[in-house]
Amino acid sequence: MATGSQTHDGVPENLRKQLAVAVRSVQWSYAIFWSLSTTQQGVLEWGDGYYNGDIKTRKTVQAMELKADKIGLQRSEQLRELYQSLLEGETDQQQAKRPSAALSPEDLSDAEWYYLVCMSFVFSPGQGLPGRALANGQTIWLSDAQYADSKVFSRSLLAKSASIQTVVCFPYLGGVIELGVTELVSEDPSLLQHIKASLLELSKPVCSDKSSSAPHKADDDRDPMCAKVNLEIMNTLPLENLYSSTEEIKFDQEGISELGGQIHEEINMDSPDECSNGCEHNYQTEDSFMLEGVNGGASQVQSWHFMDDDFSNGVQDSMNSSDCISEAFVNQRKAISVPERENVNRIHLQELQNSNHAKLSSLDLEADDDLHYRRILSSILGSSPQLIENPSLRYRDCKSSFLSWKNVAINDAHRPQVQQRMLKKILLTVPLMYGGCSLRSQKENGGKVWVRKLKSDDICIGHISDNRRENENFLVLRSMVPSISEDSFSLTNFSTFLWKSQIDKASVLSDTIKYMKELEARVEELESCMDSVDFEARARRKYLDMVEQISDNYDKKKIDNGRKSWINKRKASDIDETDPELNRAVPEDGLPLDVKVSIKEQEVLIEMRCPYREYILLDVMDAINTLHLDAHSVQSSAANGILTLTLKSKFRGAAIAPVGMIKQALWKIACKC
């Protein structure tokens, strides 16, 4: 069936689309082009029209491929068809109703009916609103159309039934364009300008942003009829409009800006694909994008977006965008974009793929970062080859190691105690094994928490939780044990201690052990010669107290050596204090008693000074023998009843007697009188 636009010579082919643009841009209800009749001179009759008002029912017979943007056009088409069919039904009663009419009269809303009826009107020159507009060559703006005099506006009663309150007519291209709306709008020249401009200016490509949801932000509270011309498109059906990864075109409204109208620049959050540059485009294709998301009933805010290359303005919208974002992503998640989801229009847009952008939904980022990330994305996605359908893994089940998945209960599946054990070790403990590395700053990090859990059955170098106390203890230890070298403790940073100490701990402990052994020996030596001295008793009491105290405080699991070092340290210091007294005490006894035993490697050097008695040397040798020592050099002299003995010996076997024991034995001999 011929469309209106094709039957009349004077009407440009794409007029309907122009009308659509015009009426949608101002959100009015309908647009009609009255053209000069070819049959009758000067008479205006129906040329073409676009219906943009409320719809009662929508026949959802559209196939899925038909995008929402075509719905408006289709509706208008359907209305025209209905009219034609009704017309023909009237003229020819016998003929069956044309089956092509998708709509039937009961499907129409009042405004639609009005629109339909308009198709039957003709206007003689000067008659009616369109006639007068053409005759005068001027725009006529009729407010309160429903109360107008029927001489002025012949369809006023019809308008009343349809609640059309404002009608505007102006001459255009030899005919008249009429727009009407169900609201009362006072005369507004700028609106007219806008409409006219939009009719003229439709050669540039259109880019639609897909905001995901209807409740889209600040636009709602803006009066669409106000002086500030509002240009936005909102898509209420994101799913249907979900394009694949790359394609969208940009709508460039330079024409509007030339008018000086205030163009509100906004950037909606949309699905993250927008093209960066406007592109020259086939008018056919772009129209389909312009007319989008016409949906019955629900709020429809339709306008275009002005896309600026500098997206700095977008930030203000990002707050509002966040709601849209989540929905957009939800939708996107539902349809993980696939290359095969193609569309005739998209094919046209392949060449745009090279510059893809995405806008970050993270509100923390500045608009600046958006730009950077967009650049990154464009470089990644632009350079990557076009998504091709990759062959899915071909399964030769008989040869594959893998079995098909069966949805079985996984309750009794294998679940180890410590999860991701090896992975955690590789990431957390292994890096700390390396000795001597310096970190820039190692704060208490979460890794240590996990490391603690690993500790239980680890064989790796032990990590001890609660580093700080340990660190402090080590420092104290260092201050007390003089032999610990500075090297073990050369920290660049206190907090790097942990992993330096892995190796250094060993040396610290070995030094401590050494020192402790020395002290033990000393203790025994002094103890044995203090049988009669009070100091010893006091020290011992102190020692016991010390032990109790320390064992109470000592809640950490440390090796015994460590503990002993604490205890011995305390004790040693006490003894050190008492020592000079001891030394003084001894000579006062009169008898020079001195036993010195020192061990160097495997060699033991014994020096004795004691009162000489019979068989003392024999006793000494006996004692040494019992201690598994082999004397290889003996020097002795007995002068003035005092034996001076220097004895060098070696340990016979592996058994090594501690210094203390040797000393003790020798003391006994020396003191025996």
Q: Which of residues 500-539 bind another protein (CB under 8 A)?
A: none
Are the C-beta atoms of 565 and 556 separated by less than 8 Å? no
User: Closest approach of Cβ 600 to another protein, in Å?
Assistant: 32
Q: Which of residues 134-173 bind another protein (CB under 8 A)?
A: none
329 vs 612, beta carbon nearer another protein: 329
Q: Which of residues 235-294 bind another protein (CB under 8 A)?
A: 245, 272-273
Instruction: State whether residue 294 is helix, strand or coil.
Output: coil
Does 426 sit near another protein (CB under 8 A)? yes
User: Closest approach of Cβ 435 to another protein, in Å?
Assistant: 8
Contact pattern from residue 445 through residue 464 relative to another protein, giving x for each residue in contact according to CB under 8 A and a dash for the rest? xxx--x-------xxxx---
Does 490 sit near another protein (CB under 8 A)? no
User: Closest approach of Cβ 242 to another protein, in Å?
Assistant: 11
92 vs 412, beta carbon nearer another protein: 412
Contact pattern from residue 317 through residue 356 relative to another protein, giving x for each residue in contact according to CB under 8 A and a dash for the rest? ---------x--x--xxxxxxx--x--------------x
User: Closest approach of Cβ 516 to another protein, in Å?
Assistant: 28
User: Closest approach of Cβ 463 to another protein, in Å?
Assistant: 12
Does 434 sit near another protein (CB under 8 A)? yes
User: Closest approach of Cβ 432 to another protein, in Å?
Assistant: 7
Does 64 sit near another protein (CB under 8 A)? no
**Strands laid side by side in the 30-36 sheet:** 122-123, 44-51, 30-36, 175-181, 166-172, 140-143
Give the closest residue to 108 by CA, choosing from 167, 72, 59, 172. Answer: 59
184 vs 380, beta carbon nearer another protein: 380
How many C-alpha atoms does 171 have within 13 Å on its Cβ side? 12
Within 8 A by CB and 6+ apart from 214, the residues are 234, 236, 298, 299, 300, 301
404 vs 553, beta carbon nearer another protein: 404
Does 433 sit near another protein (CB under 8 A)? yes
Are the C-beta atoms of 132 and 140 separated by less than 8 Å? yes
Task: Report the b/e string of 631-644 with b at 16+ CB within 10 A.
Answer: eeeeeeeeeeebbb
Contact pattern from residue 100 through residue 129 relative to another protein, giving x for each residue in contact according to CB under 8 A and a dash for the rest? ------------------------------
The region that residue 31 occupies, defined by phi over 0 for left and psi between -120 and 50 for alpha, beta otherwise, is: beta
99 vs 391, beta carbon nearer another protein: 391
Task: Report the b/e string of 164-196 with b at 16+ CB within 10 A.
Answer: bbbbbbbbbeebbbbbbbbeebeebebbbebbb
Q: What is the DSSP string of 55-66?
A: -S-------TTS
Q: Which of 299, 362, 465, 485 binds another protein (CB under 8 A)?
A: 362
Q: Which of residues 363-382 bind another protein (CB under 8 A)?
A: 365, 368-369, 372-373, 375-377, 379-381
CA–CA gap between residue 591 and residue 415 (Å, rounded): 76
Residue 351 CB coordination number (10 Å):
10
CA–CA gap between residue 304 and residue 298 (Å, rounded): 19
User: Closest approach of Cβ 42 to another protein, in Å?
Assistant: 58
Give the closest residue to 101 by CA, choosing from 81, 83, 115. Answer: 81
392 vs 479, beta carbon nearer another protein: 392
Exposed / middle / buried, residue 497 (Cβ in 10 Å: 0-12, 13-18, 19+): buried
**Total chain residues near another protein (CB under 8 A):** 78
Q: Which of residues 170-189 bind another protein (CB under 8 A)?
A: none
Contact pattern from residue 390 through residue 419 relative to another protein, giving x for each residue in contact according to CB under 8 A and a dash for the rest? xxxx-x---xxxxxxx-x--x--xxxx--x
CA 74 to chain centre: 43
User: Closest approach of Cβ 238 to another protein, in Å?
Assistant: 13
Are the C-beta atoms of 206 and 287 separated by less than 8 Å? yes
32 vs 360, beta carbon nearer another protein: 360
